[in-house]
Structure 1
Amino acid sequence: MMLIEETAPAAEALPVAALRAHLRLAQGFEGPDDAAETAALAGFLRAAIATIEGRTGKVLLKRRFRMQLDDWRDRLGQSLPLAPVHSVERIEIDDGNGTLTQLPPEGWRLVPDGQRPVILPTRVVLPSIPRRGTVTITFLAGFGDAWSQVPADLAQAVILLAARYYDDRSQDGLRHALPFGVSALIERWRAVRTLAGRGSREWR
């Protein structure tokens, strides 16, 4: 499986003001409210968001992703590795010789489960993938476009983790371990995920 993030969280959606307020309240932070500081705090927030999303499989701010598989995991239904999924924009099959075929929307449907969204065939099974071919699924995932739409515990986990990254900015090696408070906040969102396909060709 190859998963590509096609769009990044919008800069204006990042909770820079909330992080700045947290740093001032918790640590006596007195940095200037200038462009350089804003850019630095945004960078810590993006790193924290990426970490939380990686640990939970939940996309905080809505954006577009593209997943490529060399075969379906199961032709009875293909799960998606991220949640929540708002929509699947298109599904394309490449026959391995450069010919793309877009699957008609009436041939499949999205079940937008909060933990394991899945694409189901409207008939019996999803269409077969040529032996040297691939299937690409383009979809939109995320809780919303605005930070206010992110669940409160995940939003707080991002702020706490970004503040830790700010504290440890000169010690990059410390970023590998999550603080206990952050781990506790995201625990209920964590799920055991099966990501890529496990078709016969994947195991050869």
Structure 2
Amino acid sequence: MGNVIEGAALAEALAAVKAYARIEGASEDAVLGVMTASAAALCEAFTGQWLVARDGSETMAGEAGWRRLSATPVNAILGVVDRDGEALPTGDYEIDIDAAGDGWVRVTNGVKTVRITFRAGIAATWTEVPEALRQGIVRLAAHLYAARDTGDGQGPPAAVTALWRPWRRMPFGRCA
């Protein structure tokens, strides 16, 4: 699956972190890049949603009932293959993406294991990620940078959770 944020998206996010933290020059870019990517990964884990759209895959049992993909929001289901990598004929499976962005697959031919490839993410680019999510990532990355050597045990700023909470989706079938 790779990093949750890379390439142009990471460069734009890194620039936002540097501006927020008032850091000039490129001497800290490597460590800030890692912290920015970590903050984006934590955002995705907290919200239960992929941020910048990217391709992914998931292996699941080929059962006759509908099975939900773990990534969300799903933009497209690109293919369904068997364990040998052979594409299943279109009539041997069904796919659906519901209004909430959940991707669903149902195998109808008795194949035991399938791999589904898909594209998922809230936005196509970093600048299209909702402002509250971007601001939380920037604040968290700056916090991680500032606290990197202190070991003081302080958690992330409460503002980060406040910014992300409205976007939080709980995992399917789980209450909290």
TM-score by length of 1: 0.71
Go from structure 1 to structure 2 and tell me whether the alpha carbon gap of 1:187 and 1:6 turns closer, same or farther (over 3 Å shift).
Answer: same
Alignment of 1:20-39 (within 5 A): 20-24=18-22, 31-34=23-26, 36-39=27-30
1:49 aligns with 40
- Is residue 2:158 matched to residue 1:180? yes
Deviation string, structure 1 residues 27-70 (Cα, Å, up to 9, x no partner): xxxx4412x32222221110000011011111111212121124
Percent identity, please: 26
CA distance in 2, matches of 1:85, 1:47: 22
Counterparts of residues 185-196 of structure 1 (less than 5 Å): 185-194=163-172
Q: CA deviation at 1:163?
A: 1.1
Q: Is 1:164 matched with 2:143? A: yes
Q: Select 1:102's aligned residue among 67, 80, 87.
A: 87
For 1:102, what is the secondary structure of its paired residue?
Answer: coil
Task: Tell me: CA distance 1:168–1:91, structure 2 relative to 1, closer, same or farther (3 Å).
Answer: same
SS in structure 1 of the partner of residue 86 of structure 2: strand
Q: Which of 1 and 2 has greater Rg?
A: 1
Shift of 1:110: 2.8
Contact map agreement 1:9 1:63 (CA 8 A) in 2: no
Cα distance between partner residues in 2 of 1:60 and 1:79: 19
Q: Aligned to 1:19, which of 14, 17, 39? A: 17
Kindly state the Cα deviation for residue 166 of structure 1 after the two structures are TM-superposed: 0.8
Give, in whole Å, the separation in 1 of the partners of 2:151 and 2:51: 24
Task: Classify 1:12/1:179 alpha carbon distance in 2 versus 1 (closer, same or farther; 3 Å).
Answer: same
Following the alignment from structure 1 to structure 2, what is the Cα–Cα distance between the partners of residues 88 and 7?
Answer: 20
Q: Kindly indicate whether residue 45 of structure 2 is the aligned counterpart of residue 63 of structure 1.
A: no
Q: Is this contact kept in 1: 2:50–2:71, CA < 8 A?
A: yes
Q: Does 1:143 align with 2:122?
A: yes
Distance 1:104 1:172, change over 3 A: farther
1:94-153: CA deviation from partner (whole Å, max 9, x where unpaired): 2xxxx4432234642331543x513255xxx644333xxx22111111123321110111
Single out whichever of 11-20 and 47-56 deviates more from structure 2.
11-20
Query: How far, CA to CA, are the matches of 2:76 and 2:67 in structure 1?
Result: 14
TM-score by length of 2: 0.81
Runs of 4+ that moved beyond 6 A: none
TM superposition shift of 1:6: 4.6
**Among candidates 70, 88, 91, match of residue 81 of structure 1:** 70
- Count of aligned pairs: 170
Residue 172 of structure 1, CA deviation: 6.4
Contact 2:49–2:169 (Cα < 8 Å) also in 1? no
Q: Which amino acid aligns with 1:109?
A: I
Aligned partners of 1:165, 1:7: CA distance in 2, in Å?
A: 18
Unaligned runs of 5+ in 2: none
